Structure 1
Amino acid sequence: MSTTNNPRARGRPRRFDPDDAIVTAQRLFHAKGYDAVSVADLTQALGINPPSFYAAFGSKAKLYERVLDRYALTGALPLSEILGADRPLAVSLGLLLEEAARGYAADSTAAGCLVLQGTHCIDLEAREAACGFHVSALAFIRERIAQQFPEEADRVTDFVATTMAGLSASARHGQSLARLLATAQIASLALGHIIPG
């Protein structure tokens, strides 16, 4: 009878799943911010070594881009759904702000907006990726506003963007959902005066 001390003979190693890795990386980036997450943090959380990490994703910034792609599909605000509804635009924008408040406060370990956080990171490639998502979202909002109120499109878009940034930052600082919603509702009242239905 023969025995072996080879640990690899006991079973197959856990298979690396890039999709699961992106979910794990998203949690890390959202909770700590892009700059505070190191490649060592990522490889430890993903259970892989650095060469495997670089082979799978190319770089930390490239992984972040894939995280942003996933976030756009699963965690970002459903802009077309909220702003495409048949109701006054000011009401839709107010609902957008309330939905942002709920989303930003949903997870106390990863509060705020992943994209807005990324627009401030030090890494140029990651920052440009986040800014691209942010600019695209604002362009969509502005287009919807301009369809009905072209003369107000810039200032209303700026107001909505500034309010969302403030909600995200406040959520990261631990402000309660009730207070975030109160801010969103005050902003909604202001929007009703600027672009009445």
Structure 2
Amino acid sequence: MPGGRPRAFDADAALGRALEVFWRQGFEGTSLTDLTAAMGINRPSLYAAFGNKDELFAKVLDRYLDGPGAYAVAALAAPTAREVIERLVRGAVELTAGDGTPHGCLTVNSVHACGPDAAFARDLALGRRMAGEAALRRRFERAGDLPGGCDPGDLARLVHTLTDGIAVQAASGRSREELDRVAELALLGLLGGQARL
């Protein structure tokens, strides 16, 4: 039995364009009209391929975390806790203030810039962020190079607070150069003489 009519658009490319719109404008700041215009499709095609706006955002968030945000998972594989921290902090600057991408962080914006009508997007992003922090805490629990008395959970929260702050500053217009200098100072404070100056 023949299937339905084939899609007349590249779903992967359309999802990439939706990611950029959500990243640049936030969940609540993005309308279906914004999405269909950027994706080059009409609403029925959007619904058929991706579901409603919430479902599309869930797919976009997965793509973000598996694509531009994948540096965070990769950083956990660094051999020492010090290197994990350095890769996360430097990666946050690259992701949120680098060239060729919107400034700021999709997950940070989704958690902090959503009203009650966007509870789905906020809760989804928050859940992903908390899972990332828990993975970082587990990585620090396995580390052999934490200073004595350093709580892995507190350290994970501190690193997340730092990377979130970088994202907020990037979204506020701070330059890559400014944030690189902030990252150097933060790493110097956290890691002592191990930071690259």
Match of 2:69, SS? coil
CA contact (8 A) 1:94 1:185 kept: no
**Identical residues among aligned pairs (%):** 34
The residue that corresponds to 1:90 in the other structure is 82
Correspondent of 1:50 among 37, 40, 43? 43
Report deviation, 1:30. Answer: 0.9
Report deviation, 1:21. Answer: 1.2
Report deviation, 1:142. Answer: 0.9
Report deviation, 1:18. Answer: 1.8
Q: Which whole-Å CA distance do the structure 1 matches of 2:37 and 2:72 have between them?
A: 35
Report deviation, 1:96. Answer: 1.6
CA contact (8 A) 2:88 2:163 kept: no
Match of 2:8, SS? coil
- CA distances 1:97-134 after superposition (whole Å, capped 9, x unpaired): 01211111114761111111111223111112211211
Match of 1:142, SS? helix
Correspondent of 1:119 among 91, 108, 111? 111
The residue that corresponds to 1:141 in the other structure is 136
- CA distances 1:60-119 after superposition (whole Å, capped 9, x unpaired): 1110110111112211042343232224x2243023201211111114761111111111
Cα RMSD for the two superposed structures? 2.1
Q: Which runs of structure 2 are paired with 1:52-67 in the superposition (5 Å)? A: 52-67=45-60
- CA distances 1:5-25 after superposition (whole Å, capped 9, x unpaired): xxxxxxxxx812221111010
| Change beyond 3 A, Cα 1:91–1:85 | closer
Q: Which whole-Å CA distance do the structure 1 matches of 2:101 and 2:72 have between them?
A: 24
Q: Match for 2:103: what amino acid?
A: A
- The TM-score, its normalising length taken from structure 2, stands at 0.82
Count of paired positions: 180
Match of 2:137, SS? helix
The residue that corresponds to 1:4 in the other structure is none
Correspondent of 2:98 among 106, 110, 113? 106
5+ long unaligned stretches in structure 2 = 1-6, 193-197
Match of 2:41, SS? coil
CA contact (8 A) 1:31 1:111 kept: yes
